[in-house]
Structures are given as structure tokens and as C-alpha cells.
Amino acid sequence: MAPALQTQGLVKQFGGIIATNDVTLTVEKGARHALIGPNGAGKTTVINLLTGVLRPTAGRIVLEGRDITDLEAYKRVGLGLARTFQINQLFADLTPLETIGLAVSERMQLGRQWWRLPGSKPVVIEESVDILNRFGLTDAMNERTATLPYGKQRLLEIALAIACRPNVLLLDEPAAGVPEAERHGILDAVAALPSDVTVLLIEHDMDIVFSFADRISVLVNGELFVEGTPEEVAQDPRVKAVYLGEEAHDA
């Protein structure tokens, strides 16, 4: 069985900066895989390459056995690859209901229909409300997204990716910027993701990473540094050095 997602020798150069350096990564089907690393290590760049927001300077990307390196971003979504963003990328003027309804109807190939009114397809509504319900967003479903509290926007960010019904889901720091009191809502949502969905999670909070992941890759300066089970990574002296070094640096 082909792995869910694979990269071979992925390189991304921005002018002189090498943001991604020869990354060969395998994410197994159904895995809970975490991608960690210090700030500026190139984690988001990897996600952008995987999803087609950026084109790699070199290397290949394979999704469930199919080479998607040259595929446009929107087509990858159709093949079951969805993501969330580190910084919210929502539709400020739409309501959560419209937002999720849009994603659901696009997935059902109804998005080009120009003669039908939204809300006239019961399957779309039912599924949209179901997703909003799962993320505790039904109370706010008719508010403008821009007016929602940040924690709710963060939930919508994940719900929107789920509405694409992905086989492989890439989460870029889902809890970033969420105050401590609202964090558990996000963590519950991540923990409750369907088990048949393969998840690649980027996260700085080590408690979240170690409670979630069954496999961890460490990225430093754009390069894959260490990869293994949480135990192996936790005990790796090089990883400790990087993180201790960072903490010392931050302090």
C-alpha cells in the first residue's frame, strides 16, 4: 500500500535563502505525524510546497502513489489533500455557514452552478450544519466571520479543512495564538479528527505534540534533522541540543 504522502529530495529556494533543503519525508496512511522545529525552520514552507501554494525548486511530491508535483493547488484538494493555515485565512465577509456550505458544495462539484440558490440542496445543508455542530460553531453560524472571537475563527479554520473531506490533513499550528483558556477546544477538535484521516501536524507546544503524535520529524534550517517515534525523538541528544539552545536563545 502506498504511503499517504511522500516527498523526494524537496528543495525550495527564495533568492539566496534555502528554506527547504533536500527533504525526503514519508507520512504513512492513518498516521498521526508531527513536524516540529524552531521558528523559521521551514515547516510552513513544506506545507506550502505540499499543497501547491509554492512550486519546489527541485524534488517530487507523491500523494497516495500519484505524483502531484506539477498539479495546481485546487486539484490537489480534489485528490483529498487539505490544510489549515498558521495565520487564519478565512472569508471575512461570509458567515461560517456560508463558508462551510461553500466548501461542501465545491467538494460535491456543485460550485459552478449559477442558477440554483444556496440552501436549496438539503445534503449540503445537513452536512454543513453537522460539521459546524461538531466544532461548536452553530450558535455563531450566521454571524460575519470577521466578528467572531479569535478562538472560534481558529475552530472554523479547521472545520473548513474538514469540510473538504480530506484523506490527508495538514495542520499548521492549529492552536497558534489561542489563549490558554480556549486551547482545549482546539485540542479536542484535533483529537476528535476521524481516525482514517492521515494527519500531519505542525506545532510548537511539546505537550500537544507528544500527546498527539505517533511519529515525529524534526526540521532544522530547512533540513530533516531527526525522525522517529516520540520516545526516540525525546531521547535524541541532538534534538535536545536544538531545543535547549533555542530556549537559551529565547531567554
Ligand X SMILES: Nc1ncnc2c1ncn2[C@@H]1O[C@H](COP(=O)(O)OP(=O)(O)OP(=O)(O)O)[C@@H](O)[C@H]1O
**Interface with Mg ion (CB under 5 A):** 44, 86
Taking the complex as a whole, the smallest distance from the CB of residue 50 to another protein amounts, in Å, to: 12
**Piece of the chain touching another protein by CB under 8 A; list 8-16, 59-67, 83-91, 197-205:** 83-91
Site for another protein in 162-191 (CB under 8 A): 163-164, 188-189, 191
The cell numbers describing 233, all together, are 525523538
40 is a contact residue toward ligand X (CB under 6 A): yes
Q: Out of 86, 88, 95, 167, which residue is the one contacting ligand X (CB under 6 A)?
A: 86
44 is a contact residue toward ligand X (CB under 6 A): yes
116 is a contact residue toward another protein (CB under 8 A): yes
25 touches, from another protein, ligand X, Mg ion, none (C-beta below 5 to 8 Å by class):
none
Name the residues that contact another protein, by CB under 8 A: 51, 53, 72-74, 77-78, 82-83, 85, 89-95, 97-99, 101-103, 105-107, 110-120, 122, 125-126, 128-130, 132-134, 136, 138, 141-142, 160-161, 163-164, 188-189, 191-192
